[in-house]
Structure 1
Amino acid sequence: MTVKPRIALIVGSTRPTRFADKPAQWMLKQAQARQDMEVELVDLRDHPLPFFSEPASNQRVPSKDSEAVRWQQTIGKFDGYIFVVAEYNHSITGALKNALDQAYTEWNRKPFTAIGYGSVGAGRAIEHLRGIGIELQMVPTRGAVHIGGSDFMAVFPMGGNKSIEDIEAGLLPSTTAALDDLVWWAKATMAARAAAA
């Protein structure tokens, strides 16, 4: 019997006026429609992390802050990740960067993909995320989902405020490719971690 990878869909923005919920719910629906993964929404709003202030990463020293430990326990149970990425000044949100920094061993040797949004579909932010992920010994997938340009303006509340289903025809090919890659790498890294244990 093949074990399905457990995937966390991590909402990377905490602002009260965030747009993230719309693409997060759409991506959750796409992932849940598949038979090859189990996916769970993980919202950074539910994890009030302090700014990272531990003596070192938890690779070297166990974290002392109870919220950091709870966050590590939450993400540690997953085999891969889908990040919902807003682009702030050409990079990821401060909340997402802080959440990434609050753990180390829990991210190791696990894959991730992303769905990003903004004028350029969060392309620059997702590239930053990939670099951070590599330093955390993660496996970034080649593909990601980008909601940008006129599609973004069609669904953004200060634009057309349409549902993502109105633009999904253009998103589904990249979504399928990104999730296919995520599952492949999740199964590969699960097997490798099990063999090394």
Structure 2
Amino acid sequence: MSDLTPLRLAVIVGSTRKDRFCPVPAAWVADRAREHGGYEVDVIDLADERLPDVLNGDDPDVPPPAPVRALAPRLASADAFVIVTPVYNHGYPASLKNAVDWFFDEWSAKPVGFVSYGGAGGGLHAVEQLRQVFCEVHATTIRESLGFANYWDLFDDAGRPVDAAGAEKAAATFLDRLAWWAHALRDARGKRPYTH
């Protein structure tokens, strides 16, 4: 596959709570990726996917439920992921862990970047825990992340960061690094299948 072939980027909205803020930074980073160039963006909102509880569906002799079968090809076709997550009680949402655990090969040998938000820590507790989780499914997390501390003061009513220039500069660096890893890993998967 040529470097001119657009990277398929899945932006995952990790919170499913009522009145959540998560779609705001997800839409913003998805727009930045489209403007960045070289990305085809698929926004996956876990609130719409309705994945069942993985604890009741991990029997290898039973076919996965319909919502899992429907989401699998979207994840499998992605070259890279951006996970948008809040921090809940110094951790990440259960809905996000459930989504990770329903899949394995779909994540493997692909880069993952994080956009987080929260109080003073900007959601970094959630990101650091997710790095460990994604390592276990053989994904590669990038060092750069976008964090919004005290996020309620950082976005205007239209869902744009108040410090647009600073946020867009950080997003460009983040997306550059994600693209580098996405190209490198896509090329590697094309040369030899990734095995566990």
Same fold (TM over 0.5): yes
Q: Which residues of structure 2 form unaligned runs of 5+?
A: none
Is the contact made by 1:5 and 1:36 (CA closer than 8 Å) also made in structure 2?
yes
Is the contact made by 1:72 and 1:102 (CA closer than 8 Å) also made in structure 2?
no
Question: Deviation of residue 164 (structure 1)?
Answer: 2.7
Structure 2 equivalent of residue 114 of structure 1: 114
Q: What secondary structure sits across from 1:105 in the alignment? A: coil
**Cα RMSD between the aligned structures?**
1.9
Is the contact made by 1:155 and 1:162 (CA closer than 8 Å) also made in structure 2?
no
Question: Deviation of residue 42 (structure 1)?
Answer: 1.0
Give TM-score scaled by structure 1 length.
0.88
Q: How does 1:76-115 map to 2 (within 5 A)?
A: 76-115=76-115
Q: What secondary structure sits across from 2:36 in the alignment? A: coil
Distance 1:74 1:36 in 2: 18
The answer on 1:137 being equivalent to 2:133 is: no
Q: Mean Cα displacement is larger for which, 168-177 or 116-125? A: 168-177
Give a deviation string over 1:128-157, Cα, whole Å, max 9, x none.
1111111010010000000103xx23147x
% of aligned pairs identical?
A: 30
Structure 2 equivalent of residue 36 of structure 1: 38
Q: How does 1:1-197 map to 2 (within 5 A)?
A: 1=2, 2-52=4-54, 53-55=56-58, 63-119=63-119, 120-149=121-150, 152-155=151-154, 163-197=159-193
Distance 1:61 1:185 in 2: 35
What is the one-letter code of the residue matched to 2:49? H
Q: Which residues of structure 1 form unaligned runs of 5+?
A: none
Give a deviation string over 1:90-110, Cα, whole Å, max 9, x none.
111011110000100110000
Aligned residues: 189
More strand per residue: 2
Q: What secondary structure sits across from 2:18 in the alignment? A: coil
What is the one-letter code of the residue matched to 2:50? P
Runs of 4+ in 1 over 6 A off after TM superposition: none
Q: What secondary structure sits across from 1:166 in the alignment? A: coil
Is the contact made by 1:154 and 1:162 (CA closer than 8 Å) also made in structure 2?
no
Distance 2:90 2:29 in 1: 22
Distance 2:187 2:164 in 1: 33
Is the contact made by 2:36 and 2:175 (CA closer than 8 Å) also made in structure 1?
no
